[in-house]
Chains A and B, each alone.
Chain A
Amino acid sequence: MIELLQRDFVQVALLAAMLVSLSAGLVGYFVVIRQNIFFTHTLSHIGFPGAVLAILIGLDPSWGLIIFSTAAGLIFTWSKPRTENDDLGTGIILVLSMALGLVLTRFSVSASKSLEALLFGNIFVVTKQQLLLYAGIAILVVFILASLFKPLLYSSILEKEALAKGVNGPMLSHLYIVLLSLVVAVSVQVVGALLIFALLVLPPAAAIKMVSAPTRAFLVSPLIAMLCAVGGVILSLAIDLPASFCIVVLATLIYLIAIGVKKWLN
């Protein structure tokens, strides 16, 4: 096992797990408090045809994921106010994106080979160039969310009150959507489009159950996400099961423990 951990591809995978889960845990905190869970799930599916298209034209799938999910995220926020919940419309876009991605895989052998990795993730194929991209996104997420934490929290929970106090809610919303889209794009490579819940929703939801102070929950969330992602990678090497499966199981267990501990404390 120790010998395996010294292998280059494992170390890249562990670094990728740390960087992506750090970003996912931080931005995921706002996914939970803004109740953008289904929307986030849809963003990952919109990125799927983008990734396939990128492979078709010989690009890194990360770029397809980033461009498609960011463009979709911004179009969503520009087209309707945050308070308008349109699950049906969002669901239609989700299935259309999946169908489009599936059709596109028919045009290339390499794209069809990547199908499983895009849907369920494969952290062991992350390259060093992609690692740099993940690091850049993590720095951006940490810097922006740490500086705008309070106004974003205020406008996420009390939208009208925050607007009345001069907080530029629409601008913060757009900034958050760009960060979310970037993080969704990189999380897809770790856990896949179908299992994105594990990194972006379960760790912050568990953190919020465990800790009541918003700033502490915001900081605990990436720690849980990192524990799940790094623990999941190591576990997958130990028991020879897919890393995304191990990450999902760990995240679910931690969430269940958090609920249990909260109930016990009450």
Chain B
Amino acid sequence: MSPVLQANNLAVSRQGVEVFGSLTFAVPAGQVSAIVGANGSGKTTFLEATLGLLPFQGELQVLGQVPPQANRKIGYVSQGVDHYRTEFLRVRDLLTINQRSNTFDHDDEAFNLGVNTIKFHLDDRMSELSMGQAQKAAIVGALAGRPQVLFLDEPFSGLDPKSSTEIIELLGRLNQEQQLSIFIVTHDIHKLEPILSSVLRFEDHRATYYPDLTEALHDEGHHA
């Protein structure tokens, strides 16, 4: 299967300081991959370079294209759910905010799968939702427009175990039933173990790609 995300000798700097360098890997399409590492190790920086929000050196391709060319085929939820819990949007507004039209695409199976897991009212303001509900709405909103790959930046931060489990179940179904490729920045790969295929670990200005989950979990034990 052709890679969904590919890097060759990739390096990214912020304000002249190299965050990480010499990163080479290729992630096949249709996988759920975790991006892990300590705070400040470069996880979000990597994600922002992948989205074309930051410049980079070396080669980087998403769906075979240099960022941000493939961004229309990408769904993205940024870090921290608080900015989603706004009184300025209702749930239904968030679900179509990245589309020209304000109506739902009823033929979009992945989007509908997500909408059907929403148990709260679509006319509720986002500010009235719990953190877990808002995070789920944010993910479903990112599914609008039929993305082929989903990037989620710390989606479980501040969430209770029940909400985390519901979101993991939704991501698992999106991956299995809709063949969606998913990248999740997280601090806890054990939580994602049931749906995870590979891991990208950032540490000491370097990154290591583990195509095999067993090896990643083994190394995680050494880093814990």
Q: A14: shortest Cβ distance to chain B, in Å?
A: 32
Decide if B78 is an interface residue (CB 8 Å cutoff).
Answer: yes
Number of A interface residues in the complex (CB < 8 A): 19
Number of B interface residues in the complex (CB < 8 A): 26
Q: Are B97 and A158 in contact (CB-based, < 8 A)?
A: yes
Q: What is the CA–CA distance of A150 and B88 in the complex, to the nearest angstrom?
A: 13
Instruction: Encode contact with A along B76-115: 1 for CB under 8 Å, 0 otherwise.
Output: 1110000110111110010001101010000000000000
Q: Are A214 and B71 in contact (CB-based, < 8 A)?
A: no
Contact among A164, A208, A215 with B68 in the assembled complex (CB-CB below 8 Å) = A164
Contact among B52, B77, B88 with A161 in the assembled complex (CB-CB below 8 Å) = B77
Hey, which chain A residues are within 8 Å of B207, CB to CB? none
Q: Are B51 and A157 in contact (CB-based, < 8 A)?
A: no
8 A Cβ contacts from A151-169 to B: 153-154, 157-158, 160-166
Decide if B134 is an interface residue (CB 8 Å cutoff).
Answer: no
8 A Cβ contacts from A176-225 to B: 208, 212-215, 217
Q: Are B53 and A212 in contact (CB-based, < 8 A)?
A: no
Hey, which chain A residues are within 8 Å of B77, CB to CB? 161
Instruction: Encode contact with A along B145-173: 1 for CB under 8 Å, 0 otherwise.
Output: 00000000000000000000000000000
Q: What is the CA–CA distance of A166 and B100 in the complex, to the nearest angstrom?
A: 13
Specify the chain B residue showing the minimal Cβ separation from A209.
Answer: B87
Q: Are A212 and B78 in contact (CB-based, < 8 A)?
A: no
Contact among B52, B84, B97, B123 with A150 in the assembled complex (CB-CB below 8 Å) = B97
Specify the chain A residue showing the minimal Cβ separation from B97.
Answer: A154
Hey, which chain A residues are within 8 Å of B88, CB to CB? 33, 153, 157, 208, 214, 217
Q: Are B83 and A164 in contact (CB-based, < 8 A)?
A: no
Q: Are A158 and B72 in contact (CB-based, < 8 A)?
A: no
8 A Cβ contacts from B34-78 to A: 48, 51-53, 68, 71-72, 74, 76-78
Q: What is the CA–CA distance of A214 and B94 in the complex, to the nearest angstrom?
A: 10
Q: B173: shortest Cβ distance to chain A, in Å?
A: 23
Decide if B205 is an interface residue (CB 8 Å cutoff).
Answer: no
Q: Are B90 and A164 in contact (CB-based, < 8 A)?
A: no
Hey, which chain B residues are within 8 Å of A153, CB to CB? 88, 97
Hey, which chain A residues are within 8 Å of B52, CB to CB? 164
Hey, which chain B residues are within 8 Å of A161, CB to CB? 76-78, 98, 142
Q: A200: shortest Cβ distance to chain B, in Å?
A: 16
8 A Cβ contacts from A114-153 to B: 150, 153
Decide if B187 is an interface residue (CB 8 Å cutoff).
Answer: no
Q: Are A165 and B72 in contact (CB-based, < 8 A)?
A: yes
Q: Are A160 and B53 in contact (CB-based, < 8 A)?
A: yes
Q: Are B98 and A154 in contact (CB-based, < 8 A)?
A: yes
Q: Are A164 and B71 in contact (CB-based, < 8 A)?
A: yes
Q: What is the CA–CA distance of A164 and B125 in the complex, to the nearest angstrom?
A: 24
8 A Cβ contacts from A85-128 to B: none
**Chain B residues near A (Cβ < 8 Å):** 48, 51-53, 68, 71-72, 74, 76-78, 83-84, 86-90, 93, 97-98, 100, 102, 123, 125, 142
Additional A-B contact list (19), CB under 8 Å, known A158-B84, A217-B88? A33-B88, A150-B100, A153-B88, A157-B88, A157-B97, A158-B78, A158-B83, A160-B48, A161-B77, A161-B98, A163-B51, A163-B53, A164-B52, A164-B74, A165-B71, A166-B71, A212-B87, A213-B93, A214-B89
20 intermolecular pairs with C-beta atoms under 8 Å apart: A150-B97, A150-B100, A157-B89, A157-B97, A158-B83, A158-B97, A160-B48, A160-B76, A161-B76, A161-B78, A164-B52, A164-B68, A164-B71, A164-B74, A165-B71, A165-B76, A165-B98, A212-B90, A214-B93, A217-B88
